[in-house]
Amino acid sequence: MNQHLRLDPVPFIDVSAQRKRLGAKIDDAVTRVLDHCQFINGPEVTQFEADLAAYCGAKHVIGCASGTDALLMVLMAKDVGPGDAVICPTFTFCATAEVVALVGATPVFVDVDEKTFNMDAASLKRGIATAKAKGLNPRAIIPVDLFGQPADYDAIVSIAKAENLFILDDAAQGFGATYQGRRLGTFGLATATSFFPAKPLGCFGDGGAIFTDDAELAATLRSVRVHGQGSDKYD
């Protein structure tokens, strides 16, 4: 090999470069939290949720520990469990299907479009039919917005309405993307996103959020987030 042509690898995600650029602001923000000692769901979380809601156009945003928790909490809040089927794409991170198994339901996999790598609507229809033929109760669809590309929501929403299924959008890789002029966050009953460092809006650590326009679901999610606690910490 010609040594003069050898190139150093370029990191896909260079957190150290982000740290150099944003470090001082992040240090100041962390110091403020350390000073006021409200470490869990403090004022910064409340403000961040409000900012996210305004940005995406959702009525409610619930912060949580990770994108995986965001998906899991919605399934828990909707009482998805044994005997239920949740339709997932074959091409996604394992968490999309993992959370379905964690609540005791069955993930049913459907093909993706060869151009977008997102859920294929025709395969979605077949997957729902297959779930019913196997004696399962289809409850939800989890489309995934891979590589910042929104799924085909015109087709998916139409199928979901016809089949009386709710949509839980896995927008871990799609935060900030738009579909027909609307930002992701309001195309289903709920949208989950991730703040893992490699995601579009990454953090130094891990985190996630759920977007919804459903006030009742939002209230349940806020309770699920703190192990079933009510609006008062002693409730």
Q: What is the 3-state secondary structure (H, E, C) of 97-124?
A: HHHHHHCCCEEEEECECCCCCCECHHHH
Please measure the distance between the N-terminal and C-terminal CA atoms of the chain and give it in whole angstroms: 69
Task: Identify the active-site residue in 115, 132, 199, 233.
Answer: 199
Residues, the chain: 235
- Residue 97: C-alpha distances to residues 142, 143, 168, 178 (Å): 9, 11, 12, 24
Spatial separation of the C-alpha atoms in residues 87 and 118, rounded to whole Å: 13
Q: Would you call 199 a catalytic residue per the annotation?
A: yes
Give which of 170, 7, 29, 179 is closest to 99, Cα–Cα: 170
DSSP 38-81: --SS-HHHHHHHHHHHHHHT-SEEEEES-HHHHHHHHHHHTT--
Residues annotated as catalytic (active site), given as ranges = 199
